[in-house]
């Protein structure tokens, strides 16, 4: 493989309701291993209270854009 482009990214991800957070955690399962609403209910309830109080949840996040091609 030859890496043609590699860019780090750091920023913030904001959720305005706990349902959106749950959707993301289910759609991207490696974020929280073995995530389930039932198993994480207490934490989700606390996060919902934070959203109700502050209007949103904001998390710092780091990602990478990697474009690579197979060597011919």
Phi, psi of 36 (to 5 degrees): -150, 150
Cα–Cα distance between 46 and 49 in angstroms, integer? Answer: 5
* Residues 20-71 pLDDT 10s: 999 999 999 898 989 999 999 999 999 999 999 999 999 999 999 999 999 8
* Residues 31-44 pLDDT 10s: 898 999 999 999 99
Question: Can you give the pTM of this predicted structure?
Answer: 0.73
């Amino acid at each position: 493989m030859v890496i043609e482009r590699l860019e780090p990214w750091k920023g913030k991800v904001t959720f305005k309701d706990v349902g959106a957070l749950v959707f993301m955690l289910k759609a991207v399962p490696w974020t929280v291993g073995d995530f389930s609403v039932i198993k994480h209910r207490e934490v989700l309830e606390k996060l919902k209270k934070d959203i109700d109080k502050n209007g949103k949840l904001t998390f710092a996040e780091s990602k990478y854009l990697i474009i690579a091609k197979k060597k011919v």
